[in-house]
Structure 1
Amino acid sequence: MRKDQIPEFVDEIIATGCPICAVGHDTYVFGEIDVLDEDFDRVVREVQEICDNYGERDHLRLEIAAYLRSIGRVFDLPEETVH
């Protein structure tokens, strides 16, 4: 995955119904998929296909988290747990 693909990647993940958000400033997570039971397996497959299509993205973890923060998709940790 390239840095310029981050917005496209995030948009595609969100479009599946799977939430994605930054946690703090240096991490991001895929959230629990909140869809009908009969759609769950399909969404999981779609998310996996998107991840496979974009390839390795660990080297962009900070940039992905920063992009998610910039679009308001963030879960901030309480100050006492941030190191």
Structure 2
Amino acid sequence: MQEKDIPAFVQSVVDLGCNICAVGHFGYVFGDADLPPAQCEAIQPQLRLIDETYGKRDHLMAEIIAYLRSIGRYIEVPVVPAN
């Protein structure tokens, strides 16, 4: 996957009904587990196809997170101070 593919990748996941979002500044989730079990199971082949279509994306983690945050798809993670 290339950086220019990020918007299309995100839209492909959203089109399946998955709430893809950044988690803080350190990761992102597809949100497919939030779907009813039958729907989650039904979209798994389509998620695999998206994965095959766009290929490896670990090297773009920061860019994907930044894009998701820029379009309002993120969850803030509270920082808990160490004692």
Deviates more, 1:46-55 or 1:26-35: 26-35
Aligned partner of 1:50 in structure 2 is: 50
Name the aligned partner's letter for residue 56 of structure 1. Answer: K
The structural deviation recorded for 1:33 is 4.2
Gaps of 5+ in 1: none
Aligned partner of 1:13 in structure 2 is: 13
1:18-72 Cα distance to aligned partner (Å, 9 max, x none): 12110111211111241472x3332111111101110000000010001000011
User: Whole-Å Cα distance in 1 between the matches of residues 15 and 43 of structure 2?
Assistant: 10
User: Whole-Å Cα distance in 1 between the matches of residues 20 and 12 of structure 2?
Assistant: 10
Name the aligned partner's letter for residue 10 of structure 2. Answer: V
Aligned pair count reads 80
Counting aligned pairs with the same residue, the percent is: 44
Gaps of 5+ in 2: none
**TM-score, structure 2 as length reference:** 0.86
Name the aligned partner's letter for residue 80 of structure 1. Answer: V
| RMSD value, Cα | 1.6
**TM-score, structure 1 as length reference:** 0.86
Deviates more, 1:20-29 or 1:2-11: 20-29
